[in-house]
Structures are given as structure tokens and as C-alpha cells.
Structure 1
């Protein structure tokens, strides 16, 4: 799989769904961190009131969104960091937020970085970033599979069912607040704000 082809060909919402089940890996000085993507959120660029590039807003900070599909965009929200992947061809500033990861490698380090154990280690966009030991925006603008961040060429797990919901934490942006642009592996306990009653602790929502 060519990374640019994956992130530039197709509708942004379809790409957000297709990311579920792929692994996301960070090769850091601290060690190797890796997890399966279980939750994503799509942002549709210039038309999307909740997107950082709404109305064509283009700054040095959000410039990665305007680069080739597969470019990393790291930004701060209330002193926490989140990460989007730029989607579509250069100049079309769509993005997909990685919201939740199911740990595969580096769990001990993740727990140390988060000072948490269990699902709370990485069941949210700022949580997994902190768990991976990412403390700044230095790697914003780097390209997937060419530096520290690796996106698997194939899915390692297949979701049994994908649920589509409104995004989280997008108030006062109607009609975009209510649009169903969040995609989750149903039942996976590493999905953010997942109620215990909805968790599938047998299969974690995978086939």
C-alpha cells in the first residue's frame, strides 16, 4: 500500500472508517510504542465549522493539514496534545483525528507515562499521545512511514461492526456538531467515553 494513495484516494469519511484496525506505531528515543486504531473522527476542511482549516484558515501551525495526505498534524487543546492525519491531496485541508488506540507494544512505558493502567491508558486522543511519550509538536509536519510514525500497510484486525456517531467535544458548531463523523469499533474498551455496559470484553469488537 502506498501511504499517499491510501490517504488521498476516496472520501475522507470512508478513509476514517478504513483506518480502524490498522496499527499506528511511534519509534521514539524512549522506546517503541504501537497500538491498533479503534476510533477516528473526520474533519472536512474549509466547509467544516469544527475544522482548524474552516473557511480556508491557513497558519504555520495548521500548515500540515494542507500538505500531502499522510502528513502528521500535532496541535494543542487545553494544554493537551492531539494528532490528526492530513487527508486528500496537497492543498485540500481535510484531517482525521486518531481518538483511541488499543495497545500492542510498549504498554509498560505507556502506563508509566500516563500514570494509569487499564483502558484509561489510551482511550482518548490526548491520552494515547501522552502514553506514547509525545510532549511537544516537534514532529508535526512529518510524513507517515518516512520518519518516527508508522501506519501499517494492512489491517491487523477487522472490526466486527463499525458505529458512526456525532463527534465528541464539538459544541456550538451546528450543523457540524451533530454530523456523524466519528467512527468506532463497536464494543472496544479503548474507545473514548465507552460505557462499561457497552464493552465487549471477549473479542474487543474484532472478528
Structure 2
């Protein structure tokens, strides 16, 4: 798979949906961590009031969004770290936030890093980053599949159903607050803020 081509071809929202079921791996000094992507959010750059590049805002910190598709963008929100993947060709600063992962490799270390177990380990954008032991922005600006971070060529699981909802934490940015730009594997217990009654503990929402 040409990962740059994957993130530069097609509609940002379609890519955000298609990422569900792919694995995301981090090779770190602690070891290898990986999980299946179960939740994403799309951000449409200059036109999107919730995007860091809204209105063409371009800083040293958000520069990775302006780079080739498949560039890692790590940023802090209230002292927590989140990660976007840049989407579209260089100069078009769209991004997709990886919001939650279903753990695969390194589960014990993840639980140790988080001080949590089970679904709480990786059911949120800052939670999985902490579980993976990512503590700073050093790797912001690096390319996927070139160094520490690997996006799988193919899906390892196929969602039975993908739900589209408004993004989380986007306040007072209408009409962008209400747009359905968050995508989840319906029923997957690792999806952030998912009520217990909505969890499918048999199939985790996969076919």
C-alpha cells in the first residue's frame, strides 16, 4: 500500500470512515503497541471552524497538517496529547483525528501506562496516546509507515455498521458543531463515551 496515496486520494470523510478496521502500530523504546481503529473524526481544514487550520491558520505547530497525506500531527489539548493524520495533498490542511483503538499488541504495557484496564485503556484520543506511552510532540511531522508509526495496508476487521455522529467537544461552532463528522464502529466497547447499553460484547461490532 502507498500510504501517502491512500491519504491523498478521495474525500476526507470517506477516508475517515475507511480507516475503521485498519490497525495502527507504534514502535517505541518500550516495545510495540498496536490497536484497531474504531473511531475517527474528520476536519476539513480552512472551511471548518473546528479545525486547527481554519481560515488558513498556519503555524509551526500545525505545519504537519499542511504536509503530504499520511503525516503525523501531535498536539496538546488541556495538557493531553491527541493525534491527527494529515489528509489530502500538501498545502490542503485536512486532518483525521484517531479517537479510539481496540488494543492488539502490548496490552499489559498499555494498562500499566494508563493505570486503567479493559475498555478504559484506549477509549479516547488522549487515552490511547497515553496507553502507547506517547508523552510529547517529538514525532509530530513524521510520516506514517516511514518510521515509528505504521498504518496497515488492509483492514484486519470489517465494521458491521458505521455510525456517523457530531464530533465531540466542538462547541459554539455552528454549523460545524452539528455536522456528522465522527465515525464509529457501532457497538464497539472501545468507542469513547459509549454507554454500556450500546456495547456489543459478542462481536464488538465487526462482521
Q: Shorter-chain TM-score: which interval?
A: over 0.9
1:127 alignment partner in structure 2: 127
Q: Distance in 2 between matches of 1:59 and 1:113?
A: 31
CA-based RMSD of the aligned residues comes to 0.3
Task: Give the whole-Å Cα distance in 1 for the aligned partners of 2:189 and 2:6.
Answer: 27
- 1:155 paired to 2:155: yes
1:12-161 matches, within 5 Å, as 12-161=12-161
Q: Which sections of structure 1, spanning at least 5 residues, go unmatched?
A: none
Deviation of 1:4 (Å): 1.0
The equivalent residue for 2:10 is 10
Q: Distance in 2 between matches of 1:201 and 1:26?
A: 26
Alignment coverage as a number of residue pairs: 207
| CA displacement, residues 4-63 of structure 1 (integer Å, 9 cap, x when unaligned) | 111000000000000000000000000100000000000000000000000000000000
CA distance in 1, matches of 2:2, 2:64: 19
Q: How high is the TM-score relative to the length of structure 2?
A: 1.00
2:178 — aligned with what? 178
Separation in structure 2 between the aligned mates of residue 117 and residue 4 of structure 1, nearest angstrom = 34
Moved over 6 A (4+): none
Secondary structure of the corresponding residue to residue 176 of structure 1 = coil
Aligned twin of 1:197: 197
In 2: Cα distance, 1:2 partner to 1:200 partner: 33
Report the TM-score, using the length of structure 1 for normalisation: 1.00
* Correspondence for 1:187: 187
Inter-partner Cα distance in structure 2 for 1:31 and 1:112: 13
Give SS of 1:101's match: strand
- Residues 111-131 of structure 1, C-alpha deviations (whole Å, 9 max, x = no match): 000000010000000000000
Distance between the aligned counterparts of 1:172 and 1:118, measured in 2? 33
